[in-house]
Amino acid sequence: MVMHALHAAVLHLGQAVGVFEDAVVVRDDNDAAGGVPRDKSAIFFAVGHATQKAGTQVMEDIRGLMRGNPTIGWGLMLGTAAILGMPPFGVFASEFLILTQAMALHPWAAPILLLSLGVAFASVFGKVQPMVFGDSDLKKLPHQPALVPVFVHLALVLMLGLWTPPYLADWYRQAARLIG
């Protein structure tokens, strides 16, 4: 998505700081254990429950999750906010670092990056908002959905947005020095 374009933008900035920022982006986009993005997996769990609830995988037919099962709605909305880079989730820190680096080295690139982020936000949020807050006559699921994975993954993304363990930050700085 837009994060891949941001990866390319950072690498084109060509500075050691840019390499550090790209490492932060990779941290936010992949899980060290197997390359599975935490924010995306939270959304996948929530969408799986939403499709069970609606009986369809067509986005236009999934509506009103907040009314039928608020925890599924909140899981999907928070996961979407995380993946779109809303503060205080980890992707926001990545996008902020990339934007400040672009403004310092290539000020002309900052408006392009901001516009790209705005278009991505509007297009994704425009699809998810009716799914979560739209009108619906869906009934509750006959079983309680397993939402612990959704909120555990979101908690990890939130933690990395608020605090990066010192050993991880040191590792990124060492990698930036070696590359840059």
pLDDT tens track for 104-153: 888 888 898 889 889 999 999 999 999 999 887 777 777 777 888 889 88
Most confident of 4-13, 94-103, 108-117: 108-117
Q: What's the pTM? A: 0.74
Most confident of 25-39, 60-74, 163-177: 60-74
Give the pLDDT score at 77: 93
Give the pLDDT score at 67: 85
CA distance 127 to 81: 13
